[in-house]
Amino acid sequence: MKQAPIYVTQPYLPPLEEFMPYLQQIWDNKTLTNGGPFHQQLEKALCEYLGVEHIALFTNGTIALITALQALRVNGEVITTPYSFVATSHSLLWNGIKPVFVDVDPKTLNLDPARIEAAITPHTTAIMPVHCYGHPCDVKAIQKIADNYNLRVIYDAAHAFGVQDEGGSILRYGDLAVLSFHATKVFNTFEGGAIICPDAKTKLRIDQLKNFGFVDETTVVAPGINGKMSEINAAFGLLQLEHIDKSLAERQRIDEAYRTGLSGITGIECLPDAGETVANYSYFPVLVQPEYTLSRDALYQKLKDHDIHGRRYFYPLISDFPMYRGLISAQRSNLPVAAAAADKILCLPIYPNLQRQDQLRVIDLIQGC
């Protein structure tokens, strides 16, 4: 009998009957968008769960990134990572900002603070790091540099839902932090995103920007965008929150099983675990080293031939794409660590409903090479 395909990630879908009461309320109150009751409830619930004071919900993470840059009036040049999803740097281009790429740390694959200072010019106005795979950046080192040069810091925290360090939520760092609630994320609203705001004044400005710049019925104060989250997406988020702790526990179990099952395989290197950090196990990346019996791409194809769909995430580098590769900072010679990681990375399937026998299939195929 043909086995079911296994994907790198799948959204957690609670039983449909649990969602129906939410839909009935939406139908009854006839509010579909524009900050309805579920939207307001989700903002409050997320603040409580994440341990933050202010959050602005968005239709997706990309619009949230674009709006965050506008809210802080960022311009000129922004230092960022080439090792991320293209939405990170695309949000800069959409705002007419020049991305300046610097290399990543070989252990975390996050923006390397040791490389940032040399990339600062008189045109630099901000730093946009990414908490890659949910592993926290060196936030203190980055903030120290930002303070020394009077730069803004906007974290692309798309992978970092629920991640904490010793002091609490990792989302409290930077001027703003941006989340994605896309269906592939640990917490999702089908499609959605959010900006973590440091104070009520900043949240008010962001709420205005995501609603075309409206202040009231007849007053528009900024060239805003339509970034509002719908009531259906907010309702699904409220339902997801009821199951999130169980989902995170399942992800941790799967992470630990991979580390045990893959240990000792020559040429398969797992990234370091979370250590003292409260992790969310959003991805399970491995680096396929030259000592392994297959190349990364050959292993990717072997798994695919068995209906196991891993992901070379992030490959290619952002800086390799046509709209970026003309930049001096995008040259691979300037980004040796990121370039090497992109050529070796393979993310294995991890999601709450991944069955033990399916995970063993993945491990057995890697061991058998």
pLDDT in tens, 188-214: 999 999 999 999 999 999 999 999 999
3-class SS letters over 195-220: EEECCHHHHHHHHHHCECCEEECCEE
Cα angle: 78, vertex 47, 91; to 5 degrees = 25
User: Does residue 1 register a pLDDT over 70?
Assistant: no
Tokens of 239: 């339902």
pTM of the predicted structure, to 2 decimals: 0.96
Average pLDDT of the residues in 362-368: 95
Q: What is the pLDDT of residues 69-115, one digit of tens each?
A: 999 999 999 999 999 999 999 999 999 999 999 999 999 999 999 99
Q: Among all chains, which residue has been given the structure tokens 């968005």?
A: 58
Provide the residue type at 301 as one letter. Q
**At how many degrees (to 10) do helices 356-367 and 296-305 cross?**
140
Contact 262, 286 (CB under 8 A): yes
What residue has token string 């891993």? Answer: 310
User: End-to-end CA distance of the chain, in Å?
Assistant: 24
pLDDT > 70: what percent of the chain? 99
For residue 118, give the DSSP letter. G
- Cα angle vertex 235, ends 232, 130, to 5°? 95
Give the residue, 229 or 276, on which the prediction is more confident: 229
The full 3-state SS of 289-349, as one line of letters, equals CCCCCCCHHHHHHHHHHCCEECECCCCCCHHHCCCCCCCHHHCHHHCHHHHHHHHHEEEEC
Task: Please tell me the predicted confidence (pLDDT) of residue 275.
Answer: 75
153: its two tokens: 């810091």
Kindly indicate the confidence band of residue 315, based on its pLDDT and cuts at 50, 70 and 90.
very high
Average pLDDT estimate for 5-30 = 92
The half-sphere exposure of 89 on its side-chain side, counting CA atoms within 13 A, is 26
**Which domains are assigned to the chain?**
16-239 (3.40.640.10), 244-367 (3.90.1150.10)
> Is the CB of residue 74 less than 8 Å from the CB of residue 125?
yes
